[in-house]
Amino acid sequence: MLTKTLYAVAAIWALITWPGCCRALREGPRLIQEPPPYLTFPNTRGAALTCAASATPTPTITWVTDDGSHVDPVAGLRSVSGARGNSTLTLMPFRPDQYRHDLHAATYRCLATNSVGTVTSRPVSVTAGHGHIAHFISRAQSYYNTHAKYAVNQSFCNL
């Protein structure tokens, strides 16, 4: 009995340490939560974008702007939290005199990367507005992002 157990352990050890064995256990990143295509928010509230991915090994999530520049925190205006498997880009509430076009009227994407590869999210166009008008626009866009696929299907049903 002990001999069979030792042979089994030796066989498993040989498979694990064999150079080509564990490649089959790796998988490229797959987005499981992507930011919406549009985000409009009032400067008095701020907003957050979340991106999550799964893979083996666990992917690192980073944020880039439309031109491919890495997104870094900006004190009091923008922060990035998380990196292993999920990340949130937060645009904080700000006064009108703190508005920055490169932060508040920008296009962002998240990248999920591991040793197998990289996957990129769709772009999200961010627009920060002033007070109630931006709140109304953000509510309309939220409704659109949630119901657009159903509206198209319903229009065909009504022909």
Nearest to 73 by CA among 85, 65, 81: 81
CATH class of the domain whose range is 27-157? mainly beta
Per-residue HEC secondary structure of 51-117 comes to EEEEEECCCEEEEEECCCCECCCECCCEEEECCECEEEEEECCCCHHHCCHHHHCCEEEEEEECCCC
What pLDDT, in 10s, does the model give residues 124-141? 999 998 754 444 454 555
Tokens of 69: 């520049």
| Residue 158 burial (C-beta neighbours within 10 Å; 0-12, 13-18, 19+) | exposed
Closest C-alpha among 146, 99, 149 to residue 127: 99
Q: What is the pTM of this model?
A: 0.69
Residue 13 pLDDT: 45
Structure confidence by residue, pLDDT tens digits, 25-83: 899 999 999 999 999 999 999 999 999 999 999 999 999 999 999 999 999 999 999 99
Q: Which residues pair with 39 in a beta bridge?
A: 126
Indicate whether 88 pLDDT > 60. Answer: yes
Average pLDDT over residues 100-115: 97
Give residues with Cβ within 8 angstroms of 78, minimum separation 6. Answer: 71, 89, 90, 91, 92, 103
Q: List the chain domain ranges.
A: 27-157
